[in-house]
Amino acid sequence: MKVSMSNFLIDQKPVLKKLVNILSEKYKYVSVLGTDTKGKMHGVQRTGIDLSDSFWAERGFVIRIHNGANYSEYSFNEIDDSSLSSIVDEIHVKMAKTLENLKEASIEVNSYDLIEETLVKQQFLGEVIALPSTLTSKEKIEKMCFIKDTALGLSDLIVDFRVGYHEVHVSKIFISSRKELEQSYIWSEGHLVSIVRRDGNTKYAHKSFSGLKAVELLDELKASIEDVMDTSIKLLDAKGVTPGEYEVICSPEISGLIAHEAFGHGVEMDMFVKKRAKALEYLGKSVASELVTMHDGAAAAKDMSSYLFDDEGVIGTDTIVIENGILKTGISDMLSALKLGTKPTGNGKRQSYERKAYARMTNTFFTAGKDTLDDMISSIKFGYLLDGTMSGMEDPKNWGIQCMILQGREIKDGKFTGVIVSPVIMTGYVPDVLKSISMLSETVELSGSGACGKGYKELVKVSDGGPYIKAKVRLG
């Protein structure tokens, strides 16, 4: 079913165009991004139920102007014909005065060229199998309670079984003197968390689900109840890993985590501008095994970060970041591209209309190889199959990598031993990890629950993934 565009944003178009026209009399570049995002978070656990608006729900605007030297932005969420003059005054008077005061305090100001835009008018409306409104909130909660109650009845070791379902309907418009863009799409994500306890030892396992979907996701959750519960119970007998270097097979989820943390953040080109990215020195050079090709882009896959245009009004693309082990290029927002003299790739994303746009990942993944998972497991003398993302952290300057992983399933002489280690911290030097990739399976899987931060803030939705990969990494 087609997703419908926000009526509110459509209704605001005339006043936004008027605002752009007024500001254009003084400034050589003016654009406005409008957002109207609706969504609900549903949570069910043993002791209660939560239902609230999504973290991503918002309705507001951000204006960008070229102030004569560089770009200034003003975010606001109250607008009508009568308030236009106060918005214009905020930019004309107050923000201009602030800039003047900073210059008077001998603060140097970077200069940026004008954004050159081509004439474009486009609309994108996403599609889902069943719209969120297909089920009432009561029916959704009932389905989730059924999942929770089913799981709680399966084992006395379970102290809680949490079910989360989150649906979000994004609508955005972008207006400048030469651009008029609209998009509306729906994504959803869900999770199951099984918490078990034995003799005071508490462990949990989780599984996430996501996609450009709506209520159909609830059926996917239902199908994984036993899998998640089994994993959590096995973790009660998990050991700590003996620190050291191991041959490992990474599940598609962990492959995605590596793609994301190891190289995704490292090729965000605002990092090139700040000279914070080691990748800048390696363009055109080998950074990974010849088997490795990595993509990023809103148009590279149909997943959590697929859109027509980014938060700076740039049409999304498909960027080949690494091709056969060679670092080809980075991903960029509009202003970084202006500074670097490159073409923007449609990766300028904001946490919300209230925040700055940065170069951010979209759908980031390694492409498939030709190996079977069975052959990969058989090839391991002593190592682990790693699965379950907990967290990750980038280090674009010095190419360190930290991935917190839920579990490693021990493999000896090509066979699972039944031993599980948990939790596992994987660290290493990015090129060492990527150059050690020796096998890749045939199917790519992407996922995108949770959120990606830049440092410790600026959360955005992304997806990442890949095939199963075999590599050599340090575990602790």
Partner 1 sequence: MIEKIKNLIARTSNIDGYKITENKISADELFFVKKALDMHRAKDIHNFDLTIYKNFEEDNIMYTGSSAAKIHPTMSDDEILIVIEDAAFAASFIKNKQYPLVEASDIVQAEITSNFSDKPLNEWLPTLTDALYNSDVCDKGSINSSEIFLNKVYTRVVNSKGVDVSFTTYKGEIEFITNWKEDAEEIELYKHIQFSDMDYDLIDEKVKEMLIISREKAIASPTPALGSCTVLLNGSPVIGLLSYYLAKASAKTVYNGMSSAKIGDNIQGDNAVGDLITITLDPFMKSSTRSSAYDADGFPLKPTTIYTKGILNMYHGDVRHCHYLNIEPTGTISNYIIEGGKCSIDDLKTDCYLEIIAFSDFQMDTLTGDFAGEIRLGWYFDGTSTIPVTGGSISGNIKEVQKSMYLSKELQKDNNFVGPKVIKLLNVSVAGID
Under 8 Å between Cβ of 299 and 318: yes
Task: Give me the least distance between CB of 307 and partner 1, in Å please.
Answer: 22
The CA distances from residue 301 to 68, 174, 315, 444, 448, in Å, are 38, 23, 14, 11, 12
Indicate which single residue of 10, 24, 26, 45 sits in contact with partner 1 (rule: CB under 8 A): 45
Stretch of 130-138, 149-157, 220-228, 460-468 contacting partner 1, by CB under 8 A? 130-138
Length of the chain: 476
133 in contact with partner 1 (CB under 8 A): no
146 in contact with partner 1 (CB under 8 A): no
Stretch of 124-132, 205-213, 275-283, 341-349 contacting partner 1, by CB under 8 A? 275-283
93 in contact with partner 1 (CB under 8 A): no
Using CB atoms within 10 Å of the CB of residue 285, give its burial: 0 to 12 exposed, 13 to 18 middle, 19+ buried: exposed
Binding to partner 1 (CB under 8 A) within 184-223 occurs at: 195, 200, 202-204
Stretch of 48-56, 252-260, 299-307, 380-388 contacting partner 1, by CB under 8 A? 48-56
Task: Give me the least distance between CB of 372 and partner 1, in Å please.
Answer: 31
108 in contact with partner 1 (CB under 8 A): yes
Nearer to partner 1, 440 or 460 (CB): 460
# residues contacting partner 1 (CB under 8 A): 84
Nearer to partner 1, 381 or 457 (CB): 457
CA–CA dist 363, 192 (Å, integer): 23
Q: Where are the beta strands (DSSP E) in 257-343?
A: 294-296, 319-323, 326-327
244 in contact with partner 1 (CB under 8 A): yes
Indicate which single residue of 4, 21, 101, 372 sits in contact with partner 1 (rule: CB under 8 A): 101
Nearest to 218 by CA among 264, 165, 263, 267: 165
239 in contact with partner 1 (CB under 8 A): no
273 in contact with partner 1 (CB under 8 A): yes
49 in contact with partner 1 (CB under 8 A): yes
283 in contact with partner 1 (CB under 8 A): no
Residue 216 per-residue DSSP state: T
74 in contact with partner 1 (CB under 8 A): yes
153 in contact with partner 1 (CB under 8 A): no
Under 8 Å between Cβ of 193 and 204: yes
State phi, psi for 107 to the nearest 5 degrees. Answer: -90, 125
Q: Print the binding letters for residues 352-391 with partner 1: x by CB under 8 A, - otherwise.
A: --x-x---------------------------------xx
| Residue 87: HSE in the Cβ half-sphere, 13 Å Cα cutoff | 26
Helices (H), 193-333: 217-222, 225-235, 252-258, 270-273
Under 8 Å between Cβ of 296 and 319: yes
Helices (H), 237-385: 252-258, 270-273, 334-340, 373-378
398 in contact with partner 1 (CB under 8 A): yes
H/E run at residue 345: none
CA–CA dist 386, 473 (Å, integer): 11
68 in contact with partner 1 (CB under 8 A): no
Nearer to partner 1, 308 or 434 (CB): 434
Stretch of 243-251, 374-382, 407-415, 440-448 contacting partner 1, by CB under 8 A? 243-251
Nearer to partner 1, 99 or 459 (CB): 99
